Amino acid sequence: MTENPGVLKWSARLTSVALLAGCVVSNDPPPAEPSAAGGIARNVILFIGDGMGVSTVTAARIFDGQSLGMTGEEHELIFETFPHVALVKTYNTNQQVPDSAGTATAMMTGRKTRAGVINIGPEVRRQDCQESLDQELTPLGVIAKERGKSVGVVTTTRLTHATPASVFAHSPERDWESDQYLPESDRAQGCLDIAYQLTRFDVGGGLDVVLGGGRAEFYGGEFDGNRVGGQDDLIREWLDAGSNRTYITTRDELARLRAAQQPGIRPAQQPEELPEPRSAQPSRQQVLGTFSRSHMTYVAERPPDTTEPTLAEMTSAAIDLLADDEDGYFLMVEGGRIDHGHHDGKPGYALLETQAFARAVEAALEQVDLEETLVLVTADHSHVFTIAGYPVRGNPILGLVVENDVTGEPSPEAAVDATGTPYTTLGYANGPGAVADQPRPAPETGTGAVYQSHIPVVSHRIDGSLDYSETHGGEDVALYGIGVGSDQVGGVIEQNLIFDIMIQAFGWDDGD
């Protein structure tokens, strides 16, 4: 790979920012654009911070800066230094405030659709299998494979979750991750669960690198999985279908694979019955990694001896594995648990996930040549997450509001509301932290605290249980671009135009 002086500038700037710990303001000029924006991209990497709205980016910027010893407000996350920025409208065709399935579909297919469906046309009703079968939209993962590119998927959620599934699958119901909730009548009509579609994806020989969580969706009950039908060992079937395939389940195995660049690593956690990956390699190596039973562990809850890789480690490994393709690659990287932290009403969790997401972007920039690669960073939607009050400069972003006094100096005590109760800078319009009691109690603070919200909301999950989680927000999200084709990023755009930006960067006139 050609050494990229632009990336070296980026790395040097990050180092200088870290050394500024304790400084109030950085007067460094913005970095020069490291490459010409025009031309044809050999590679495209799309980073999606699930739920990473503008307020989340702002709070994470302060959080990350404060973790480096700064006051925080002057800090920049790596993607905030990109030369091209746009605002993106995220609504679905049937919802003002979107869900991840519809938003991911917009980015992967160039078409806005209903909420809850994956790569299915907007006329199709959710969960209507029959309607969906002749209204399937072609996602970029398929287009790229058809045109000779390698394709990779990296996520901290289940690999069958809405955003990663949008790269390769079709479903009128995002919750049909395994056959557990897929009705037999719909299966008989020809609808397939998402895990099955992943392991049977055969366009261009199959997906090349797939790393994330969700192991249970690929196994039946015999292996403590969620599958209930006849296909209860999809991993075995995937391995049997290609002699160039490797399955891994731990961080150490991923590191060894990245170092060795060869198949044959047998995961210790793999069921005894699964065959060893064959040593013969008639074609480029394909890697499937499931590092957790469901979603990967929150950064805030990861034990020191975790067997799960970080998002940055998965991203770096994916780029190494995909970079061998002379024709280039498309890679989608999702920081999926930003969204989950907000749904849980825990901004500390969401900000740690955003920080890890930014580290993954940084890792990618250190590896790619921006003269031949387009890197986009965006969110699929926002959350009802606010930064409020009048806290002093450098006030801990996860703390109580401390205001300035009449002279402009910090007060000795936390500010209080009209009832005499302190309050936090961060909060939610709705969610599990809704306060029903009056007077309102003093809020909890810290990484694991559920922060206060205004309205208690409830919905029904597909299994019939009640969900009291916080909801998405409907405001625009940001799109940041750097590298080949990034000059198309700008203005206020519809979310489906992100697909067009990627297609044009590859030099393809359309997605057909």
Q: Catalytic residue positions?
A: 100
Residue 102 identity (one-letter amino acid): G
Residue 15 identity (one-letter amino acid): T
Return the exposure string of 246-272: e unless at least 16 CB atoms fall within 10 Å of the residue's CB, then b.
bbbbbbebbeebbeeeebebebeebee
Q: Which helix (H) or strand (E) holds 493?
A: strand 491-494
DSSP string computed for 377-389? EE-S-EESEEE-S
Check if the beta carbon of residue 35 is closer than 8 Å to that of residue 150: no
Residue 205, φ and ψ in degrees, nearest 5: 95, -5
Check if the beta carbon of residue 477 is closer than 8 Å to that of residue 381: yes
Whole-angstrom Cα distance, residue 377 to residue 99?
18
The DSSP call for residue 207 is: -
Q: What is the dihedral of CA 18, 24, 25, 26, to 10 degrees?
A: -20
Cβ burial, residue 130 (10 Å; 0-12/13-18/19+): middle
The DSSP call for residue 332 is: E
Whole-angstrom Cα distance, residue 173 to residue 132?
10
Query: Residue 136: how many CB atoms within 10 A of its CB?
Result: 18
The DSSP call for residue 303 is: -
Number of H helices, E strands in the chain: 14, 17
Whole-angstrom Cα distance, residue 257 to residue 317?
8
Separation of first and last alpha carbons in the chain: 31
Nearest to 430, CA basis, from 383, 380, 465: 383
Tokens found for residue 484: 């080949």
Q: Is 204 left (phi over 0), alpha (psi -120 to 50) or beta?
A: left
Check if the beta carbon of residue 112 is closer than 8 Å to that of residue 137: no
Nearest to 332, CA basis, from 102, 147, 152: 152
Nearest to 122, CA basis, from 73, 172, 181: 172
The DSSP call for residue 442 is: P
Q: Show Cβ contacts of residue 382 under 8 Å, excluding neighbours closer than 6 positions.
A: 51, 52, 53, 54, 55, 56, 90, 472, 473, 474, 475, 476, 477
Tokens found for residue 220: 């039946």
